[in-house]
């Protein structure tokens, strides 16, 4: 039986997806249960956290963040250092700064805007976040297009345009599917479909409510969508990190990065510049203070979006009287949780207190891999083998005379051949003589 052609397929229906969603919807901490009114603050917070991050990684941060900032007003009133500290570990730290700025704008206005246009005016709120909040929190018929939705729609409509150029087309086809009733549930249903059924690899097409109208499935090409340009890996950068620990209180020297740029306003141990040609042998020229610096074995490796990073860590213990250089501070180890330390800096501190040498690579060096296997003591091929050694045979010595023994006793033997054999003693038959006990 031939597979149906794309032109013969029926158009996907929102009601089919919503029927599936009513049975299989995920329970998430920011998602309102059926019959509950959605909370715009929780929806906005979750959408910002979920950008470039997985649900599993976000859940503990979301709960911790709500405990610390239970409302938009509490978040707006908090100092920036507290917000950055609560965000530390989630990455993409410009999101945290925009989150704080957005909270201040909403608190000043008294509430979230309830339209797409109004939401787009808030700091850090892009097209996807605005569409998600408008649809989920305020039931506006708006499309919310994230990575899951892009994958579902490019497969459903077999969109051949390469990403990210295809995003405009994906937004149009998604918007056309948004129903006038339950647009918020529809937005969450498409996200759930992409996360659980229409996955990047091995999609469970047989369980999909849109299996019949899916054009990519009809042609057997579903795993090839969305079409993407091959990512270009950035140039490796290197640098040095200096971990100074003060004797007595075990405080660690830290500083705050500039507010703009990568890891802006986050805390770090003093660092050298990160450069492709950085030479760790000259790293002490970048040390923050005069001390007995020890270069630790191994490297700290971290991957950013645009480049990988390798850091050499230097460690020193300094006197309790040591003063922090200008713009730096000593923070006791017990208070590190209050510092906005990103993941790469936590790796540096962990390495400083428990250095891990780079694993030794096993196997032959690359230069030897092309060589053929040869015996350990093989002779060179251009030399004739030496003649066998000549020797003069030595006559075998005659056996020594041994007293004859009864045939049933067998032959005796002696561990030391140089010792004379004792006279053979006939073995007596019968039970051994019993001695007194």
What are the φ/ψ torsions at residue 309 (nearest 5 degrees)?
-135, 140
339 carries an active-site annotation: no
Q: Is 414 exposed, middle or buried (0-12, 13-18, 19+ CB in 10 A)?
A: exposed
For residue 49, give Cα distances in angstroms to 4, 15, 59, 62, 133.
41, 29, 9, 8, 13
- Select which of 47, 142, 150, 339 is catalytic: 47
CB 233 within 8 A of CB 170: no
CB 144 within 8 A of CB 132: yes
Helix, strand or coil, per DSSP, at residue 86: helix
Give the integer Cα–Cα distance in Å for 175 and 78.
37
How many CB atoms neighbour CB 364 within 10 A? 10
What are the φ/ψ torsions at residue 161 (nearest 5 degrees)?
-60, 140
Furthest-apart CA pair in the chain: how many Å? Answer: 122
Give the integer Cα–Cα distance in Å for 187 and 189.
5
Q: Is 98 exposed, middle or buried (0-12, 13-18, 19+ CB in 10 A)?
A: middle
Rg (CA), the chain: 38
CA dihedral 157, 162, 167, 171 (to 10 degrees): -10
Question: Token match 């479909």: residue?
Answer: 193
Which residues contact residue 177 at a Cβ distance below 8 angstroms, ignoring those fewer than 6 apart? 12, 14, 186
Give the integer Cα–Cα distance in Å for 331 and 245.
9
How many CB atoms neighbour CB 335 within 10 A? 10
The enclosing H or E element of 253 equals: strand 251-256
What are the φ/ψ torsions at residue 239 (nearest 5 degrees)?
-170, -175
Active site residues: 47
């Amino acid at each position: 039986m031939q597979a149906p052609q794309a032109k013969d397929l029926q158009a996907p229906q929102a009601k089919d997806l919503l029927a599936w969603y009513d049975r299989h919807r995920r329970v998430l901490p920011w998602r309102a249960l059926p019959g509950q009114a959605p909370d715009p603050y929780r929806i906005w917070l979750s959408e910002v956290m979920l950008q470039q991050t997985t649900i599993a990684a976000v859940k503990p941060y979301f709960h911790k963040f709500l405990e610390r900032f239970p409302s938009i007003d509490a978040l707006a009133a908090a100092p920036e250092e507290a917000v950055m500290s609560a965000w530390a570990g989630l990455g993409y730290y410009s999101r945290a700064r925009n989150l704080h700025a957005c909270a201040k704008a909403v608190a000043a206005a008294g509430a979230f805007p309830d339209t797409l246009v109004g939401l787009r005016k808030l700091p850090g709120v892009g097209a996807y976040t605005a569409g998600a909040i408008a649809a989920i929190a305020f039931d506006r018929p708006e499309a919310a297009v994230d990575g899951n939705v892009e994958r579902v729609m490019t497969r459903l409509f077999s969109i051949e345009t390469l990403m990210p150029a295809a995003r405009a087309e994906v937004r149009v086809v998604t918007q056309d599917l948004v129903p006038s009733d339950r647009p918020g549930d529809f937005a969450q249903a498409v996200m759930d479909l992409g996360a659980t059924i229409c996955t990047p690899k091995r999609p469970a097409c047989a369980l999909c409510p849109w299996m019949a109208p899916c054009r990519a499935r009809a042609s057997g090409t579903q795993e090839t969508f969305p079409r993407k340009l091959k990512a270009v890996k950035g140039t490796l950068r290197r640098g040095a990190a200096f971990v100074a620990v003060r004797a007595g209180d075990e405080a660690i020297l830290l500083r705050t990065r500039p507010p703009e740029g990568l890891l802006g306003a986050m805390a770090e141990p003093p660092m050298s510049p990160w450069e492709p040609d950085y030479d760790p042998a000259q790293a002490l020229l970048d040390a923050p203070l005069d001390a007995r610096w020890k270069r630790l074995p191994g490297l700290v490796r971290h991957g950013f979006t645009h480049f990988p990073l390798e850091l050499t860590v230097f460690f020193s213990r300094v006197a309790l009287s040591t003063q922090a250089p200008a713009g730096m501070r000593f923070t006791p180890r017990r208070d590190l949780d209050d510092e906005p330390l990103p993941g790469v800096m936590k790796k540096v501190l962990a390495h400083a207190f428990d250095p891990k040498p780079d694993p030794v690579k096993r196997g032959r060096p690359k230069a030897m891999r092309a060589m053929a296997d040869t015996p350990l003591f093989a002779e060179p091929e251009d030399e004739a083998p030496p003649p066998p050694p000549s020797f003069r045979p030595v006559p075998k010595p005659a056996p020594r005379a041994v007293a004859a023994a009864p045939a049933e006793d067998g032959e005796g033997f002696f561990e030391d051949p140089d010792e004379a054999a004792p006279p053979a003693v006939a073995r007596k038959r019968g039970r051994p003589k019993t001695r007194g006990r």
